Amino acid sequence: MSVNGEERLERYAELAVRVGANVQPGQEVFVHGLVEHAGLVRALTRQSYRAGASYVHVMYSDQHIRRAMIELGPDEALTYTPAWLKSTAETTEGNAQLGTTGNPEPELLADLDGERVGRAIPHESVEIYRELHRKSSINWSAVGAVTEGWARQVLGEPDVEQLWEKIAFCMRLDEPDRVAAWREHLDRLDARAAALMGLRPDAIRYRGPGTDLTVGLLPTARWGSARFRTASGIEYVANMPTEEIFTTPDPTRAEGTIRASMPLSLGGQLIRGLEFAFEDGRIVHVDAETGADVVRGHQANIENADRLGELALVTKESRVGQTGTLFYNTLFDENATCHIAYGFGVPNAFEGEPDERMNASRIHVDFMVGGPELEVDAILADGTEVPLIREEAWQLDS
């Protein structure tokens, strides 16, 4: 491999800008990243200007500042949305957005009061972004940012190069024509979604160790890949990598129990061994080996955080899954295996306005449920069960 690190970084950023957010000439671009992600944030900024951006707004965030607020600040600070932050969110309308993930210190807040950590959300700006997503008025993408801290978490040592190689593989940077490779990949996922929709399933059933859950579907919600289109017609890929097909379920119909199959990094804490029990669509019981309070804080304080918002199916062709790596990062881990989200639904699952039944919570938290033993079936209106996934292999024809 003759590509040096700098060139790889620029190629990676170019892919995120051109295929991911698909920044259009004349658009403003908002780049959101942690201070530790400065290297990638700078490359995304350069590539956005090269793609014709009229201005790039760089919005760094810092978990240590957030920690100071939660640990030392007054109660009111936790949910405060500054006017400038609202203005930032409003200005994003009609523009492009790039976000970086890959937490260098995923357990930074582990020793803080979980209830306070769960409550610390600037609701007003979250609400604005939610509305922009509902109206499909942002072309955006999220990509991973390699740091020593993240490498240590994933590999047990700060081997940044090894983490880069895994991510480059997941991102198809090894393909001779990366743009074409991404197009083919997304076409495959869309064909799979079409085959599933052809069944007109009424519900999805999950069975496995600690899991027997049935989730009802909304008749108008589609299955699809993360390749979306804004209301103004800009095609974009919201997550890179992406290996899933997903839908937004009926938030009033979930029965049974489900066990997460991977740890989940959430609000600066690591949630291990998460288990939910559902009745009538609502989470009635939360268990976890660590971090249960953060999840319970969400359930207690945020309306409809106790109902589902997303179901996503991933199989073993996944490049993320093929790395055999636990990334401790939702963007990657959710593309390694099947996952489910509680909270806000996915408006992109609808053509036009979302069904009014879609979960309208202010939060969206993905957790991984897939694994070799998970069986996923489609339940048709007449009760027939059609196998979708067995031993992580897709069971339908496409």
What's the min distance (Å) between Cβ of 152 and other proteins?
19
Give the nearer residue to other proteins in terms of CB position, either 69 or 326.
Answer: 69
- Residue 191: CB atoms within 10 Å: 14
| Cα–Cα distance, 80 to 86 (Å, whole number) | 11
| Cα–Cα distance, 138 to 131 (Å, whole number) | 10
| Cα–Cα distance, 342 to 364 (Å, whole number) | 6
What's the min distance (Å) between Cβ of 28 and other proteins?
8
| Cα–Cα distance, 302 to 391 (Å, whole number) | 36
What's the min distance (Å) between Cβ of 3 and other proteins?
21
| Cα–Cα distance, 265 to 41 (Å, whole number) | 22
| Cα–Cα distance, 132 to 125 (Å, whole number) | 11
Strand 275-279 to 249-259 pairing: antiparallel
Q: How far are the Cα atoms of 39, 132, 238, 328 from residue 241, in angstroms, in the given order?
A: 19, 23, 9, 15
Residues that bind other proteins (CB under 8 A): 31, 35, 38, 41-42, 45-46, 49-50, 53-58, 60, 62, 64-65, 68-69, 71-74, 76-77, 80, 82-85, 87-88, 90-91
Q: Which two tokens stand for residue 374?
A: 């998970």
DSSP-assigned beta bridge partners for residue 393: 390
Give the nearer residue to other proteins in terms of CB position, either 87 or 232.
Answer: 87
| Cα–Cα distance, 337 to 320 (Å, whole number) | 8
| Cα–Cα distance, 153 to 204 (Å, whole number) | 33
Give the nearer residue to other proteins in terms of CB position, either 87 or 384.
Answer: 87
What's the min distance (Å) between Cβ of 5 and other proteins?
16
Give the nearer residue to other proteins in terms of CB position, either 7 or 62.
Answer: 62
DSSP-assigned beta bridge partners for residue 381: none
What's the min distance (Å) between Cβ of 247 and other proteins?
34
Q: Does residue 338 contact residue 175 with C-beta atoms inside 8 Å?
A: no
Give the nearer residue to other proteins in terms of CB position, either 1 or 83.
Answer: 83
DSSP-assigned beta bridge partners for residue 283: 278
What's the min distance (Å) between Cβ of 105 and other proteins?
12
Give the nearer residue to other proteins in terms of CB position, either 148 or 190.
Answer: 148
What's the min distance (Å) between Cβ of 74 and other proteins?
6
Give the nearer residue to other proteins in terms of CB position, either 45 or 269.
Answer: 45
Give the nearer residue to other proteins in terms of CB position, either 49 or 169.
Answer: 49
What's the min distance (Å) between Cβ of 63 and other proteins?
9
Tokens 């198809």 correspond to 172
| Closest C-alpha among 390, 397, 341 to residue 367 | 341
E strand or H helix at 8: helix 5-15
| Cα–Cα distance, 357 to 217 (Å, whole number) | 11
DSSP-assigned beta bridge partners for residue 30: 57, 97
What's the min distance (Å) between Cβ of 91 and other proteins?
6
Give the nearer residue to other proteins in terms of CB position, either 16 or 311.
Answer: 16
